[in-house]
Structure 1
Amino acid sequence: MIIHVVQRGDSLWSIAQLYRADLQQIILLNQLNNPNILVIGQALVIPEPNKEYVVRQGDTLWNIANRYGIGVQDLAEKNNITNPSLLFIGQMLLLPYYNYVVQPGDSLWEIANRFGTSVSQIAEANNIENTGMIDAGMFLGIPSPQRPVKEINAYITQTQVEGAQEVAALGSHFTYLSPFTYSIKADGTLTDLNDQAVLEAADKNNVSPLLVITNFIQGDFDSDLVATFLRDPDIQDTFIENLLAIINSKGYTGVNFDFEYVYPEDKENYNAFLRKVVSRLRPSGLTVSTALAPKVREDQQGLLYEAHDYKTQGEIVDFVVVMTYEWGWAGGPPLAIAPINNVREVLDYAVTAIPPDKILMGIPLYGRKWEIPWVQGTTAQTVSTQQAIQLAARYGVTIEYNEEYQSPFFQYTDENNQRHEVWFEDARSAQAKYETIEEYGLRGGSYWVLGIPFPQNWPILQRNFKVRKL
């Protein structure tokens, strides 16, 4: 899979010719509504012939496997497909083997180096006994490179039919699904959530659901509510019984606590509560995780940060989600949602306090559009990658790329002479985030939030990692 950034004079046809790629597959993979309109600076993902295949109308796993001379089970396993009858138009499949015709002068060693594999793997795949003897014109199946195995979580707020459809289509990419949200009440009970549809979709894709618990009430995180909860062990005991009842009735495999804006004086109460809940859930094989504000040092000031004890929570829970996004927040001035330099600053601290293999790095799936000059009290509008590109095309502007932030952006003037600035995510920014996960040796990543289309993200994820299924 190749990332191509559109240059002046490019057409989709010329790009397909450049990479010897299938035009229709490029259209499907990028979900291009109008293939005749490209924007200078737009990032496209290009499926590599003989290595990747994009599902079209009428395809089945069997006929795709048959076309490339590979096993259906091999193809399903390579792509985390649990139900071979469930394929989706635009879904990219990695082929477990590349077809290669031996050229005069080739050796297995040279071929293995060229394709990033080993002589022994090629020999085993092709039943070659004498690795020094291959003939020109011989057909070889080259095993595709092994990818690092990572865990991926996805938060979702659309928990009924629409959300279930998205989980069905994208579930092969997730280890965990976290429907948002159940909220605590002052008496130890929880709010309800109509999550049956997404839980069924998760189950069909072998995705482990995490029950998200927050202090989120009436559209905001309530500091007083969580203070009452964390200061009363009896309320906590009632809560744990109610929590277990929901887990057992709905089939959740763990719980994710996202308590935000906790008073600093409740830091030790929060730690003590986590120890209590872990002692009750872990013997039953249930995981406990937390969502942490993006701190850059232990003593960072501010209501969002002070009660989030990185070191202690890292010791207590199974893993954490570090919320490395929202620098470009809706109520602030224009900025990349997750500037990679800021993300790395958080991780530089996080890995000193928490084992890297317990950290899921937060990844945004969305962008924002601001009015400029920015005025305090105004609110930015959330946009998807697709919407951002459509805006750039509509107003005839070039998409720029900030190398420091590793994020695309542009400005435009609308029909009312109002200026706007847009920051969003694309294939390049996604690649930068996955490289960061690998560089820091993290457990994986966590998306906020499903429901905002970002089609280029999924083939980039596939190129970088094999997602662990539990």
Structure 2
Amino acid sequence: MFIYTVKNGDSLFSIASKFQFPLDKIREVNGLIDPTLVPGQALIVPSNYYIVQPGDSLYTISQMSLVQVNTLRSANGLQSDVLSVGMKLYLPVRTKYPEEGLSYFIPATPEQIEMTTRNFSPYNAYFGIFEYHITEEGNLSTLKNDELAVIASRNHRVAPLATITNLTPEGFSPEMTRQVLNSPEIRNRLINNIYTLIKTKNYAGVNVDFEQVRAGERDLYTGFLRSLNDRLNPEGYLTSVALHVKKSDSDYPGYDYGGIGAVVDFAFIMAYDWHEKHSGPGPIAPIDEIRKTLDYAVQRMPRNKIILGVPRYGYDWTMDNGTVMSAKAVSVTTATETAMRYEVPIQYSIQYQQPYFSYWDENGRRHSVWFEDARARAAKFQTVVDYQLKGVGAWQLGLNFPQSVYLVEQFFYQKRVI
């Protein structure tokens, strides 16, 4: 497999010819409908061979193929780094890392549920069914078509997890969380309601996503998760949690990584939204910051309890003289199509391992876009392997990113829990 960066003058035909690989297969893997390409666009070429081109070196081929120079040299019986134009190089089969992936999806129609579970079940051990929200009384909302989502997940051998949030129409509510956690009666009611939901609807467990928990509720939150696990674990149900990123104890002080890691089966670290709708433009999931988070996390909880959460999206900020006027989330496909539409090259930050570009719309407004692509995703997958984590997961499967599943297949062997 290669990740090829489109250059000026490239076409699908010329790229297919360069790699001596079927054009239709390149189109399929990259989800391309329009044959138009834009400079800087990352394309996966799913070939195990490479024909040396003028200007190539083992290093540049190594960068494209994500295979170390020494490995390339050994696999091809090379005694030196000298290459000849036209030489055919073989890429050794990548050793796949065993992982348990967790990705979220929002159940909609029966057709969408079946399509999502069928398409993504080979790449996930867990589906986070999103979402049930709590009330101030410790009750749970309903979720349309959740029974169908559970059945479909289990039919495809993926463990369905009921995602429980503190989300309200106004956003995540730390105040409601405070009220619930500070009342033993309400807290116990919520635990009982979660247990009943899981048992009656045949979930495999729970994924608790309480966001913006305050420092004052830090120990109460850990205690709540411990009590919840004590209720679920004896019957074989899983307790998992979604966590904000932390690089130090002072970041998101309402979350005790060490305490939480000790009382749950695993944690999904939401390694995205370093920049989002309410910030200025910038990388969504910069690899340098992700590594700092993991350096902190693995000192406080077992590596085999950590799932790295990655985005299937980016943001498009509308600017006015350097000031953000508005912003919207866009899928990876939408971001790439926007660059094509406005015929602007895609740049790539080596530091952050994320693509970006700017454009002017029809109304004369400047936009800045940062998003995820195959290069960025491969860097994150390699990080999962390097840190020996439990797995990787995504928010969320309704956002189109066709290259992602191919990369999962190349990097990982999916372990099954049911």
TM range (shorter): 0.7 to 0.9
1:139 maps to: none
**Alignment partner of 2:232 out of 267, 276, 281:** 281
Q: Which runs of 5+ in 1 are unaligned?
A: 51-109, 117-141
Question: 1:425–1:196: structure 2 CA closer, same or farther, 3 Å change rule?
Answer: same
Identity %: 36
**Partner-residue secondary structure (3-state), 1:311:** helix
Question: 1:358–1:15: structure 2 CA closer, same or farther, 3 Å change rule?
Answer: same
**One-letter amino acid matched to 2:307:** L
Kindly state the Cα deviation for residue 355 of structure 1 after the two structures are TM-superposed: 1.4
Matches within 5 A, 1:421-436: 421-436=368-383
**Alignment partner of 2:100 out of 139, 151, 154:** 151
Q: Separation in 1 of the partners of 2:345 and 2:236? A: 51
Q: Which runs of 5+ in 2 are unaligned?
A: 50-70, 78-90
2:6 maps to: 6
CA contact (8 A) 1:159 1:198 kept: no
1:335 maps to: 282
Kindly state the Cα deviation for residue 198 of structure 1 after the two structures are TM-superposed: 2.4
Q: Separation in 2 of the partners of 1:174 and 1:159? A: 19
CA contact (8 A) 1:165 1:201 kept: no
Please say if 1:387 is aligned against 2:334: yes
Kindly state the Cα deviation for residue 339 of structure 1 after the two structures are TM-superposed: 0.8
**One-letter amino acid matched to 1:369:** D
Q: Separation in 2 of the partners of 1:374 and 1:154? A: 38
Kindly state the Cα deviation for residue 382 of structure 1 after the two structures are TM-superposed: 1.2
**One-letter amino acid matched to 1:464:** F
Question: 1:223–1:375: structure 2 CA closer, same or farther, 3 Å change rule?
Answer: farther
**Alignment partner of 2:136 out of 176, 186, 194:** 186
CA contact (8 A) 1:369 1:422 kept: yes
CA contact (8 A) 1:159 1:197 kept: no
Kindly state the Cα deviation for residue 7 of structure 1 after the two structures are TM-superposed: 1.1
1:160 maps to: 109
1:254 maps to: 205
Please say if 1:38 is aligned against 2:37: yes
Q: Separation in 2 of the partners of 1:217 and 1:403? A: 38
Deviations 1:53-98 (A, max 9, x none): xxxxxxxxxxxxxxxxxxxxxxxxxxxxxxxxxxxxxxxxxxxxxx
Question: 1:357–1:199: structure 2 CA closer, same or farther, 3 Å change rule?
Answer: same
CA contact (8 A) 1:332 1:379 kept: no
2:24 maps to: 24
1:367 maps to: 314
TM-score, normalised to structure 1, is: 0.77
Deviations 1:376-418 (A, max 9, x none): 6733111112211211111111111011110011111112111
CA contact (8 A) 1:407 1:424 kept: yes
**Superposed CA RMSD:** 2.4
Kindly state the Cα deviation for residue 466 of structure 1 after the two structures are TM-superposed: 0.9
Q: Separation in 2 of the partners of 1:432 and 1:354? A: 23
When structure 1 is superposed on structure 2, of 198-207 and 346-355 the one drifting more is 198-207
Question: 1:38–1:326: structure 2 CA closer, same or farther, 3 Å change rule?
Answer: same
CA contact (8 A) 1:332 1:376 kept: no
Kindly state the Cα deviation for residue 287 of structure 1 after the two structures are TM-superposed: 1.1
Q: Separation in 1 of the partners of 2:44 and 2:152? A: 27
CA contact (8 A) 1:333 1:374 kept: no
Kindly state the Cα deviation for residue 427 of structure 1 after the two structures are TM-superposed: 0.5
Please say if 1:403 is aligned against 2:402: no
2:75 maps to: 114
When structure 1 is superposed on structure 2, of 375-384 and 459-468 the one drifting more is 375-384
Alignment length, in residue pairs?
A: 382
Deviations 1:315-334 (A, max 9, x none): 11111111111012111111
Matches within 5 A, 1:236-255: 236-255=187-206
Q: Separation in 2 of the partners of 1:432 and 1:11? A: 25
CA contact (8 A) 2:318 2:324 kept: no
